[in-house]
């Protein structure tokens, strides 16, 4: 049996109604065999005894927190792909995500097509990397720019801004795209190469020989996509989760201070700002990592009017992979 036709055994754990719904969806494609579990202990036994390709877990799992199940799963299968389903905004569950180091969190209201796309990428992890796997265009229509000097940051920002100006986006979303890109590319350039202090001081830095940041952007009929890659792989899901957790907590403290008539400035920080803006403003947000080799951030913006069934901020896709080709 070829790779394309071999069966993938998928565990779906959670409330019965949700499990049955996902099972009906997966059964539309003959390559998936689905096993259902309503309780945490039952799901853990299946994880230990079955040769699974993927685990899909509801946050509201009976007798066990869905985050805890995924955390325990790693004791037996450190690289088994998973999806955690939630109806909550990421800001409401970021504490649990950080505590259990769970980075692949998806809205349970995800459309069928989107669910299949995500599963396909998780089961074929070479498809996680590369902008060509996220937009439906020929690779020759994707723009690329290599950055080795800090003065190039403004140059690539202007190029991306010009591309954004050609899109059918409202002015607010265009500003969001530019802000997200500028935050992300500057952080990748400085922090991935150990120049965090130089960034704080606003210093111009040329990267050491052979070091670079690769930026790509492009669009199809449905979305505009950006990718920012560094070839150090020093980021981790836990670092991203901690950064997001800290910035969300600081924002809450800042709001509380304002409401109480206190000084909010002690809670004002630039750290994590790009991640949070991407999480709240983008249609899709991915951080794909091969430790000590590659970190690739992919940010997608829908060119269609907002879909009420798919609100921003309900999905977070962080994964540490073992392959890119």
The SS3 call for residue 85 is: strand
What residue ranges of the chain are covered by domains with CATH 3.40.50.2300?
8-123
141 and 131 in contact (C-beta within 8 Å)? no
Query: What per-residue confidence (pLDDT) applies to 320?
Result: 85
Spatial contact of 270 and 191, defined as CB atoms under 8 Å apart = no
Environment class of residue 97 by beta-carbon count within 10 Å: exposed (0-12), middle (13-18) or buried (19+)?
buried
pTM of the predicted model, to two decimals?
A: 0.88
Burial class (CB in 10 A: 0-12, 13-18, 19+), 80: middle
8-123 under CATH 3.40.50.740, yes or no: no
Q: Which CATH number fits domain 135-320: 3.30.365.10, 3.40.228.10, 3.30.565.10, 3.40.50.10090?
A: 3.30.565.10
CB contact at 8 A, 146 and 214:
yes
- By C-alpha distance, which of 218, 229, 151, 219 is closest to 185? 229
Tell me how far apart the alpha carbons of residues 133 and 317 are, in angstroms, rounded to a whole number: 15
Residue 88 to residue 279: CA distance in whole angstroms: 13
Rounded Cα distance, 84 and 44, in Å: 15
Please count the CA atoms within 13 angstroms of the CA of 296 that sit on its side-chain side: 25
Place of tokens 């799963």: 73
| DSSP H or E run through 290 | strand 284-290
Question: What pLDDT score does 323 carry?
Answer: 54
Q: Please tell me the predicted confidence (pLDDT) of residue 312.
A: 55
* All CATH 3.30.565.10 domain ranges in the chain, comma separated: 135-320
Residue whose C-alpha is closest to residue 293's, from 241, 230, 240? 230
Q: Which residues of the chain have pLDDT under 70?
A: 1-5, 264, 267-268, 306-314, 322-325
Q: What is the pLDDT of residue 319?
A: 87
Residues 6+ apart with CB under 8 A from 71: 100, 101, 102
Residue 144 is predicted with a pLDDT of: 96
Assign 236 to helix, strand or coil: coil
């Amino acid at each position: 049996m070829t790779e394309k036709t071999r069966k993938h055994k998928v565990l779906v754990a959670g409330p019965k109604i949700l499990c049955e719904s996902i099972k009906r969806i997966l059964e539309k494609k003959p390559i998936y065999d689905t096993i259902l579990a309503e309780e945490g202990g039952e799901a853990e036994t299946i994880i230990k005894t079955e040769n699974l390709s993927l685990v899909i877990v509801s946050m509201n799992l009976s007798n066990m927190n869905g985050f805890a199940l995924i955390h325990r799963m790693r004791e037996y299968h450190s690289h088994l792909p998973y999806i955690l389903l939630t109806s909550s905004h990421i800001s409401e569950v970021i504490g649990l995500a950080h505590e259990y180091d769970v980075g692949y969190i998806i809205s349970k209201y995800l459309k069928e097509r989107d669910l299949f796309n995500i599963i396909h990428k998780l089961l074929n992890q070479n498809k996680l990397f590369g902008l060509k796997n996220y937009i439906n265009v020929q690779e020759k229509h994707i723009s690329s720019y290599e950055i080795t000097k800090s003065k190039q940051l403004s140059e690539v920002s202007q190029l991306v801004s010009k591309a954004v100006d050609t899109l059918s986006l409202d002015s607010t979303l265009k500003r969001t795209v530019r802000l997200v890109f500028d935050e992300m590319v500057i952080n990748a350039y400085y922090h991935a190469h150990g120049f965090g202090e130089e960034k704080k001081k606003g210093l111009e830095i040329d990267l050491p020989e052979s070091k670079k940041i690769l930026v790509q952007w492009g669009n199809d009929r449905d979305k505009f996509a950006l990718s920012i890659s560094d070839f150090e792989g020093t980021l981790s899901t836990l670092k991203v989760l901690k950064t997001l957790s800290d910035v969300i907590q600081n924002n809450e403290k800042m709001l509380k201070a304002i409401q109480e008539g206190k000084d909010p400035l002690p809670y004002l920080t630039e750290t994590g700002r790009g991640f949070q803006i991407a999480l709240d403003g983008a249609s899709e947000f991915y951080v794909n990592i091969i430790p000590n080799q590659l970190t690739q951030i992919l940010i997608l913006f829908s060119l269609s009017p907002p879909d009420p069934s798919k609100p921003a901020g309900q999905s977070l896709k962080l994964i540490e992979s073992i392959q890119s080709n």
